[in-house]
Amino acid sequence: MSLPTMASPTLSPDSSSQEALSAPTCSPTSDSENLSPNELELLAKLEEQNRLLEADSKSMRSMNGSRRNSGSSLVSSSSASSNLSHLEEDTWILWGRIANEWEEWRRRKEKLLKELIHKGIPHHFRAIVWQLLCSATNMPVKNQYSELLKMSSPCEKLIRRDIARTYPEHEFFKGHT
């Protein structure tokens, strides 16, 4: 049973972006030579949270509805939501780091990056990551456009003079000659 994917309009780590929960677990040793100790620790935490969540969801299914309203299931539910918030926070930290250090991740940790993308990009990071994936921020046309904006047009002086003649009484064009 996989959890439903829900989109939230807020941009906070406490929002309900649960895509990472339905993804299969990744072994921290698969690409460990390319990871820093902090990243290894973060991946280990994510895997542990996934295991706890899977174990909790299995126990909830096995109860067959007989004890769902008892106090023990409430404790289990609250611990699952606590684990979920830690998992979401860790996921936000990881994807924030990936977005900020994109070139390094793309060059040095390409295999792990592909695995994480395959598992699912959190909802609020999708727009940023998609732009980074297709190199939309490094387009030469964008740089050319900003250079053209800095330049003045050879016809601009003539246009300003004609506007001042055409609309001599208009407030906006009175001081432009």
83 and 155 inside one domain: no
Give the DSSP H/E element, type plus range, for residue 60: helix 37-62
30 and 111 inside one domain: yes
127 and 163 inside one domain: no
Q: Identify whether 10 is part of a domain.
A: no
Q: Identify whether 6 is part of a domain.
A: no
30 and 106 inside one domain: yes
What does the pLDDT read at residue 35? 77
Q: How far is CA 172 from the centre of its chain?
A: 44
121 and 157 inside one domain: no
What does the pLDDT read at residue 3? 47
43 and 110 inside one domain: yes
109 and 43 inside one domain: yes
Six-digit token string for 102: 């994109």
Instruction: Please give the average pLDDT of every successive group of 10 residues along the chain, which has 177 residues.
Output: 44 42 45 74 83 67 46 45 72 88 88 90 88 81 84 86 86 71
99 and 152 inside one domain: no
Q: What residues make up the domain containing 167?
A: 143-173
Q: What is the DSSP letter of 98?
A: H
1 SS3 class: coil
pLDDT in tens, 117-133: 998 888 888 888 888 88
Instruction: Give the number of domains in the chain.
Output: 2
Separation of alpha carbons 173 and 177, rounded Å: 8
What does the pLDDT read at residue 12? 41
Phi, psi of 70 (to 5 degrees): -80, 170
Q: Identify whether 12 is part of a domain.
A: no
Q: How many CB atoms lie within 10 A of CB 109?
A: 19
90 and 157 inside one domain: no
Six-digit token string for 126: 């999708």
Amino acid in the structure at residue 116: L
Six-digit token string for 107: 């060059």
Tokens 């250090």 sit at which residue?
A: 101
Number of H helices, E strands in the chain: 7, 0
